[in-house]
Amino acid sequence: MYFKQIQVSGLGCLSYVLGCPQAGSMIVVDPKRDIQDYLDISRDEGMRITYIIDTHVHADHVSGAHELANRTGAAICMHPQSPVDFAFTPLPEGHILEAGNARLKVLHTPGHTPHAISLLVSDLARAEEPWLILTGDLLFVGDIGRPDLAGKEVLEEQVKNLYSSLFDKLGSLPDYLEVYPAHGAGSLCGKGMSPKTNTSLGYERRHNPRLQYNSFQAFALATGNDFPVRPKSFTHIISTNKHGAPLLDRCPLERALSVTDFEAAMERGAVIIDARDGAAFGGAHIPGALNIGFEKQLANWVGMVVPPDADILLVVHDRPDYDAMRTELHRIGYDNILGYLSGGMQAWIYSGRTVDRLEQVGVTELSQRATDKTLPILLDVRTDPEWNNGFIAEAQHLPFTEILDNCCSLPTEEEIVVYCGSGYRSNMAGSFMKRHGYTNVKSLAGGILAWGRAGCPTVNHN
């Protein structure tokens, strides 16, 4: 049996290829939208893709099922009652698919979504007994799938389903079974996932904190209201996956825009994402641009900050950066990418147009101002747990997600220094606040990490 896990960094997405080179047959499970990896494996291993399986309607990334089906003619397969608008091959409980020596048996495991499935996998070259299970978004390494994405009206039912799937359906399976989930660290479909991308059922039963409850009541109390933040993009992604994602060749073509064309698109209301690092953005950027640096969890942050239907302009260093950024955005359904600024920020500067800056305040300067009692307004935009672990004296706390919802009520002309863990979120927050009229906002370079490493003190509530 051929088996390969394919990882997407940042989003924490995991997809799978199973098959049999001898039989020339291959199955892809939970494909990402950019499908070249699967096509390469198909070609290199001499296997034809016969089935494409989505374990559920995904909320955090656009499925590559339609893209792959269009290129290969393979059948798209899902749970029979999946709420989608396109034809697919139903996979009811107990259904078996085979690709040579690879056998997949369907288990209905609702909880993360009502129509989710898991797949028991056997390597028939060794035994009919299952060797591993693809758990979709039911069970992760160190966590379980969140049950709230289907809506508040079915949350109570989903928590019951989640408990039943985890403790009853998986409870009948042996400890030695290897577990391969659809997500790892970085995904917002769970919370506190391990960076390790596979585990065993027995290990999770012993050490996964979400599987340690001795009653449904205890499980429901802990599971029914403790969810990661839900990005703006999730509703759009769910809708896209229900209707079937448009093929990528129908999205806007690559365009390197001149300064004049870029400015014209700005004036028509396009959102500018400046994907350079914080120092470069802070030194000079286009007025109104949002700084979302090209780092591991870029797609999640874009999903929180930028409306999914927005027309998007990109400021990047070069064409390879644009290609990488475009792929990241397509994975979460941001398809209205109008192009990037040809020549980068330097072209804008050389054109003589107005530039803005987001001043980066060093920890030494801020510490000295604390000593001199000339501190500006300090705004900590980290999460509640981060704040509780220690913060800079005199700081006010307003998590970044709340700034996105309501901006903030601080005076727009006062000097404000925003800080986070490392400077990444504070640059996003600062650029967002500048876009909303805050004229003297600055960012603490290096965040609380640099503050601590410089020997500067923090305080906490204890």
Per-residue pLDDT of 373-413, as tens digits, reads: 899 999 999 998 899 999 999 999 999 989 988 777 889 99
**How far is residue 242's CA from residue 84's CA, in Å, rounded to a whole number?**
4
For residues 341 and 429, state if they share a domain: no
Asked if residues 31 and 78 have their Cβ atoms less than 8 Å apart, the reply is no
* Mean pLDDT, rounded, of the chain: 93
- Reported as a pLDDT band with limits 50, 70 and 90, residue 253 is low
Mean pLDDT of 121-130: 97
Q: What is the pLDDT of residue 226?
A: 72
Residue 347 confidence (pLDDT) above 90: yes
Q: What is the pLDDT of residue 462?
A: 59
- Reported as a pLDDT band with limits 50, 70 and 90, residue 433 is very high
Domain count, the chain: 3
Predicted confidence (pLDDT) per residue in 31-88, tens digit: 999 999 999 999 999 999 999 999 999 999 999 999 999 999 999 999 999 999 999 9
The tokens for 229 are: 């933040």
Asked if residues 428 and 300 have their Cβ atoms less than 8 Å apart, the reply is no
Question: Is 243 among the domain residues?
Answer: no
Q: Structure pTM?
A: 0.89
Cβ neighbours around 306 below 10 Å, total: 20
Looking at the chain, the whole-number percentage of residues with pLDDT higher than 90 is: 82
Residue 232 confidence (pLDDT) above 90: no
Of 173, 202, 233, the domain-final residue: 233
Of 203, 233, 263, the domain-final residue: 233
The tokens for 352 are: 């003589």
Question: Is 199 among the domain residues?
Answer: yes
- Reported as a pLDDT band with limits 50, 70 and 90, residue 271 is very high
Please give the residue that has the higher pLDDT: either 206 or 405: 206
For residues 93 and 198, state if they share a domain: yes
What is the extent of the structural domain holding 447?
A: 360-453
3-state secondary structure of 233: helix
Q: What is the pLDDT of residue 294?
A: 83
Question: Is 242 among the domain residues?
Answer: no
- Closest listed residue to residue 305, CA positions, set 152, 429, 200: 429
For residues 310 and 267, state if they share a domain: yes
For residues 330 and 421, state if they share a domain: no
